[in-house]
Amino acid sequence: MKAELRDSLEWLYPDSTVSGKPLTTMKADVARGGTAAVNVLATGIGGARLRLDVRLAGRPVKEARLYRLVDVPVEENTGAGGFVEAGTGRNVHVTRRAPFRVYDAMEPAGKSIETKGATEAICVQIPVERKARPGTRDYTIEASDGKSAERLKFRVKVYGAALPETGAGSWPYTNWFSYELIATRHGLKAWSEGHWRMLGKYAALMVRNRQNVFWTPFQDVFKRVRGKLELNRERLRRIVKVFTGAGMHYIEGGHFAGRTGGEWNAATFSTSLGGPPATSVAGNADIAGAAGQLMEEIERNGWRGRWVQHVADEPVAANAADYRIMVGMVHKYMPGIRVIDATMDPALAGSVNIWCPQCHEYQAHRKEFEAQRALGDGVWFYTCCVPGGRWLNRLMDMELLRPALLGWAGAFYGLEGFLHWGLNHYRPEQDPFRESVVRHGGRSKLPAGDTHVVYPGREGPWSSVRLEAQREGIEDLELLNELKARDAGAALEIMRPVVKGFDRYTRDAAVLRAARKRLFERVSRRAGKM
């Protein structure tokens, strides 16, 4: 057996090989409250089990987390403009030509791991407490297959810079998730006690990866009773309790309406759960009734400072007029509650409180979005099945740096939050371990990894290397924002070699690591703790 260490921001594949001169020593820099991570690649395994022991000064590191990386398919490449190549053109900015398999799913593992073949990839994570003493720690990682063993050295420098706890004081970040699929993909009855326990596991994983916003879709908290929308108040309160207990803070109210007939360029919206046109008399009654019930719960439970409200997803010029009227109705019945939606068209000015454009749309129309921010609006950003090509996104045929650099670009532009629709939105027929590219509507397909960044494990959710990479970038963003508030010039100097835009960034993990080291040093110096 041969083994070596690999950077956690480097993709590994089933056909990855250990170097001729194996890398047996690696260094990492980490802020307090962060996580030191490294991958172990082992090939030529001759036994049925692979054992990994992580030690510090000869003692087992109990807090170390081990994950066996599981490969999944990439059937088609992301297109130059998003979706897949068949629809938007050949993309030269991919890591490999499809089809191929890549290690993305992270199966929680113990020290002794049942091998599936002669090659295994293991992620080793070592969380660092927020009150940890700064200094250097020399960990040893011993890998053994029962016939031979490799001893690897992982040197971690802990800095005085400290990350804020995920919650009210951290950067807003949301991945939408399906409550129904959390039940069905784990063989549970929806809203049973087993489902609630599983929701807690998902919430814990989200919080560990810096998510501090959770949503409450209409179909999960409302139903139609004799034609009227009725709020399941008990369920809503328990949802909030579960996710607040895990450490999340902000609550996203689900969409009041969707496009009439489901057509993208429909001129009007209709209220949720099969309701009437939203800006009709009946639609107004729907919105007034639902909004009134929500406001009663918001006021009763003290959620006003935590609640943001969706109205309709991705309005465009064709339905901007209807959307603006509908937002006015929501503002009328939910006074003081901020409206947030995936919004890119300047025709929507004056309606939403928080804009959320796709990253390439923000960059293309930055002047217009910043003008709205100058008037008091917030500006987040999002990615989905677009953009493709050279743009930052978190898809499986893009460099693993890109999810991390979403945080750096967010800090570079001073954006105030991130949204993605797909934590676990698998299609009904989709097994995410066997299928990554799925059909979407007519001829289009969603690119590899767009539907999800977690996997349904046997006993709970599994993380992905993409989700963990994005977490690393958001941790950096927190400290970049801290430094920007004190010395914007210093922060810009640190960011310049790493990112200059959503389509201009380094593809070298070493460049990012060097900049991160400088960031930790500068913030630690400010804190007086090196």
8 Å CB contact between 129 and 165: no
Q: Is residue 275 part of a domain?
A: no
Dig out the tokens for 82 from the structure: 């998003």
Q: In this predicted structure, what is the pLDDT of residue 138?
A: 98
Residue 376 lies in a domain: no
Q: Which two tokens stand for residue 483?
A: 């430094």
> How far is the first Cα of the chain from the last one, in angstroms, to the nearest whole number?
39
Q: Do residues 311 and 339 lie in contact, with contact meaning Cβ atoms separated by under 8 Å?
A: yes
Beta strand 49-56 with 112-114 is antiparallel
Amino acid of residue 356: C
Checking 227-234 for CB contacts under 8 A at 24+ apart, the result is 228/285, 228/286, 228/289, 229/271, 229/272, 229/273, 229/275, 229/286, 229/289, 229/290, 229/293, 230/293, 231/290, 231/293, 231/294, 231/297, 233/293, 233/297
* Chain position carrying tokens 């090659």: 119
Sign of CA dihedral 39, 44, 49, 50: negative
pLDDT at 528: 66
Query: Helix (H, G, I), strand (E, B), or coil: what is residue 255?
Result: coil
Residue 282 falls inside a structural domain = no
Domain of 147?
2-164
Cα diameter, the chain: 76
Cis peptide bond prior to 73, omega within 30° of 0: no
User: Given this model, what pLDDT does residue 529 score?
Assistant: 64
On whether residue 103 sits in a domain, the answer given is yes
- Domain total of the chain: 1
Residue 464 lies in a domain: no
Question: Does any domain span residue 80?
Answer: yes
Render pLDDT for 466-501 as a digit per residue (tens, 0 to 9).
999 999 999 999 999 999 999 999 999 999 999 999
CA–CA separation, 69 and 123 (whole Å): 7
Phi-psi sector, 397: left (phi>0), alpha (psi -120 to 50), beta: alpha
**Are residues 434 and 73 in contact, defined by beta-carbon separation less than 8 angstroms?**
yes
- How many angstroms separate the CA atoms of 145 and 112, rounded? 9
Mean pLDDT by 10 residues, the chain (530 residues): 97 97 98 98 94 98 98 98 94 98 98 95 98 98 96 98 98 98 98 98 98 98 97 98 98 98 96 98 98 98 98 97 98 98 94 98 97 98 98 98 98 98 97 97 90 97 98 98 98 98 98 98 80
DSSP 425: -
Return the pLDDT at 527. 66
Dihedral Cα 320, 325, 328, 333, nearest 10 deg? -130
Location of structure tokens 């800095």? 159
Cα(467)–Cα(209) distance, rounded to whole angstroms? 7
User: Is residue 107, in this structure, part of any structural domain at all?
Assistant: yes
CATH number at residue 40: 2.60.40.10
Residue-wise pLDDT tens digits, 120-130 = 999 999 999 99
Q: Residue 510: its pLDDT value, please?
A: 97
Instruction: Tell me the DSSP string of 97-128.
Output: PSSEEEEEEEEEE-SEEE-SSS-EEEEEEEE-
C-alpha 150/C-alpha 25 separation (Å) is 12
pLDDT of residue 530: 55
Question: At how many degrees (to 10) do helices 401-413 and 465-486 cross?
Answer: 20
**Residue 415 tokens, joined:** 């954006």
Among residues 358, 505, 353, 481, the alpha carbon closest in space to that of 419 is found at: 358
**CA 65/CA 8 separation, integer angstroms:** 14
The strand pairing partners of 173, in sequence order, are 418
Give CA–CA dist 218/269, Å, rounded.
15
Asked if residues 374 and 64 have their Cβ atoms less than 8 Å apart, the reply is no
**67 within some domain:** yes
